[in-house]
A and B are shown apart, each in its own frame.
Chain A
Amino acid sequence: MAAYSEKVIDHYENPRNVGTFDKEDPNVGTGLVGAPACGDVMRLQLKISDEGTIEDARFKTFGCGSAIASSSLVTEWVKGKSVDEARQITNQQIAEELALPPVKIHCSVLAEDAIKAAIDDFRKKQAAKRSG
């Protein structure tokens, strides 16, 4: 087990925005990434206004401390951002903020993927709403 940075420990011990939104809500985008067999699964949910602003975020993560911290961190970062701004968040920024060691970089990659997956899900719902 690698030594953890203080920020990882803080997010792990006091995770922000844990929880679940109704995934049927058309203004909620859900991203579920990773796989149990790999030891990491992140679910990130974003509540997005019709104008495309991320109003709130929730997560649940199965994974190591770095995976939990990465997802907790991004729930803080995305709030108040437009979906386009949120898409700019990179795994390097997450890894840097949490001082992740090389073996834990995949946790930050997963968090970046989760943001994109949640936004894609929201966009799909919006498109369905318009065409429907």
Chain B
Amino acid sequence: MAIKLPIYMDNHATTPVDPRVLEAMLPYFTEVFGNAASRSHAFGWKAEEAVEIGREQVAALIGAKSPKEIVWTSGATEATNLAIKGVAEYYKDKGNHLITQKTEHKATLDTCKRLERMGYEVTYLDVDREGRVDPEAVRAAVTDKTILVSVMLANNEVGTVQPAREIGRVCREKGVLYHCDAVQGAGKVPFDVNEDFVDLASLSGHKLYGPKGVGALYVRRDKPRVRLTAQIDGGGHERGMRSGTLNVTGIVGFGKACEIARLGLAEEMRRINALRDRLEAGIFGRLDLLHLNGSKQHRVPGNLNVSFSYVEGEALMMALKDIAVSSGSACTSASLEPSYVLRAMGVSEDLAHTSIRFGLGRFNTEEEVDYVADLVVEKVKRLRELSPLYEMAKEGIDINSVQWAGGH
């Protein structure tokens, strides 16, 4: 069978909507279109019913005891903003200190930076070379002013899975709330808010084959009961935690996506791990001077992040023009700095410029993996023939010993 181009391997950025999810959503655009907050007629009741089923499906995926612990949002960025700002504001008389870590998503880091400008204090923990936080470092950072720890479940660039349970346990022992940005991990690896001692968790629909524009914040209601100050005011929806008319179609799709993810988790992990391992073997077996970024042992199934020494990431992406991947190279961003995630893990700047992230997902096939591996090998070889650094390295010159003139 001929391979269909382009090939999508950027499933950390977003995922396509699963056809089963789309099918579940369709009636809610035109037939069951009511406002879930309309209490006076059947249109509203049916919409509300659908929303509550969605709540149960999301709650079930993460092991929440009650669907009432799910607060709908527009996405995970909003959920994270609500979690961090909402807790900081509500508990401001208890303390003004928050703990997070350096490879968090910008939704967390930029929210923390804003809080710092407002007078809060934030500790940004270091990670090890694999991108993991030491739970004991969390313990050591907790002070009598600490109100919240925010550490993600899995990283969006390198796929590193954090020791969430150990971090959660420390937080519980210390009596501080634990917020976990579970966007990249939920539905991909086992995650249970009770077993992992999580008090707040951010989730997104479009990272697990649901639609864009819908997310949720898990807010624990019992032991401890977490309180939040709402960040969006209005009609008092979501028990006052998040006003705004609910995105019923989105919620139906998100719920269905969570159900599919929960029921198929073990099988899908196995299948996508096998695809990723095949891609990794196909590339590492045929090229030298490669570096795996992240953790071989603790990573989400679909992630493969590789630095192709002496080949700049954007140039490689240009060569892989029919393959959708992403790079930690500076050239892919508005700034000239390479990936802060790789830098925080101790990856040198020159290697960070050569990194490519492959994100495999539910709809990738072995044929696609083989095609991509072949193409990557061919193009890296071609670009290395063009690279003065590769030539120097092959001549035995230590690139780091050269006095490089001029910066960017």
Judge if A29 is at the interface, Cβ distance under 8 Å.
Answer: no
- A interface majority secondary structure: mixed
**What residues of B have a CB within 8 angstroms of the CB of A48 in the complex?**
none
**What residues of B have a CB within 8 angstroms of the CB of A106 in the complex?**
336, 408
- A-B contacts at CB below 8 angstroms, number: 96
**What residues of B have a CB within 8 angstroms of the CB of A32 in the complex?**
388, 405
Judge if B143 is at the interface, Cβ distance under 8 Å.
Answer: no
Chain B 327-346 interface mask (CB, 8 Å, partner A; 1/0): 00111101010100000000
A54 CB to nearest chain B CB (Å): 19
Do the beta carbons of A38 and B386 come within 8 Å of each other?
no
Judge if B348 is at the interface, Cβ distance under 8 Å.
Answer: yes
Residues facing A in B82-137 (CB within 8 A) are none
The closest CB in chain B to the CB of A15 belongs to B386
Judge if B399 is at the interface, Cβ distance under 8 Å.
Answer: yes
Q: A35-B407, A39-B331 are in contact. Are A4 and B391 (CB under 8 A)?
A: no
A46 CB to nearest chain B CB (Å): 15
- 5 chain-A/chain-B pairs, Cβ below 8 angstroms: A1-B314, A18-B386, A36-B389, A39-B408, A61-B387
**What residues of A have a CB within 8 angstroms of the CB of B310 in the complex?**
62
The closest CB in chain B to the CB of A44 belongs to B388
**What residues of A have a CB within 8 angstroms of the CB of B406 in the complex?**
33-35, 110, 113
Q: In whole angstroms, how far apart are the Cα atoms of A63 and B332 in the complex?
A: 12
User: Could you list which residues of chain A lie within 8 angstroms of chain B, going by C-beta atoms?
Assistant: 1, 4, 12, 15, 18, 20, 32-43, 60-65, 67-68, 103, 106, 110, 113, 117
Q: In whole angstroms, how far apart are the Cα atoms of A41 and B340 in the complex?
A: 21
Residues facing A in B271-305 (CB within 8 A) are none
Q: In whole angstroms, how far apart are the Cα atoms of A40 and B330 in the complex?
A: 10
**What residues of B have a CB within 8 angstroms of the CB of A33 in the complex?**
405-406
Do the beta carbons of B407 and A38 come within 8 Å of each other?
yes
Do the beta carbons of A62 and B311 come within 8 Å of each other?
yes
Do the beta carbons of A36 and B405 come within 8 Å of each other?
no
Do the beta carbons of B388 and A41 come within 8 Å of each other?
yes
The closest CB in chain B to the CB of A35 belongs to B404
Do the beta carbons of A34 and B315 come within 8 Å of each other?
no
Residues facing A in B379-397 (CB within 8 A) are 385-391
A40 CB to nearest chain B CB (Å): 7
Q: In whole angstroms, how far apart are the Cα atoms of A1 and B313 in the complex?
A: 10
B155 CB to nearest chain A CB (Å): 22
